[in-house]
Amino acid sequence: MPKKQAILYFDGVCNLCNHWVQFVIRRDRESRFQFASLQSKAGLNILSTLKSQNNGVPDSLILEIDDNIYIRSDAALRTFIELGRGYKLAGLFLLMPGFIRDAMYNFIAKNRYSIWGKRDECIIPTHELKTKFLD
């Protein structure tokens, strides 16, 4: 079975989101993840797609695996699952009702700039990491 490709869309000016991307990159031993800031062309495209499908499009984290799109706490938890190994245990939180998980996620997302800060510009990947980032 071919391995699934995952694209993690993130708020490129958010320090917390950038740390999350670095966390995933360091643990992505199978090189399954690609990344795009929500401010990039690819990010704006996914936001446009979601806006036409949903109310309240997230502005912090979106995960696309094959044809499935995950938002909010589902995106964060499924990222752990896709990393494999012991990180899969985080998937147990999917047993918690989504409205509770998303309430916690939304609180963190709403306060991420005031707690972790904000950058003036999106992350600029090193030459070695450039292939992992879309546009």
Tell me the CA end-to-end span of the chain in Å, nearest whole number: 28
| pTM recorded for the entire structure | 0.88
Strand partners, 35: 8, 133
Three-state SS for 54? coil
Nearest 5°: phi and psi at 129? -95, -10
pLDDT digits (tens, 9 = 90+) for 85-122: 999 999 999 999 999 999 999 999 999 999 999 987 77
How many C-beta atoms surround the C-beta of residue 13 within 10 A?
18
Residue numbers of the chain with a pLDDT score lower than 50: none
* Cβ neighbourhood burial of 14 (10 Å; 0-12, 13-18, 19+): buried
* Cβ neighbourhood burial of 73 (10 Å; 0-12, 13-18, 19+): buried
Closest residue by Cα to residue 39 from 11, 61, 64, 19? 11
Q: What's residue 55's pLDDT?
A: 60
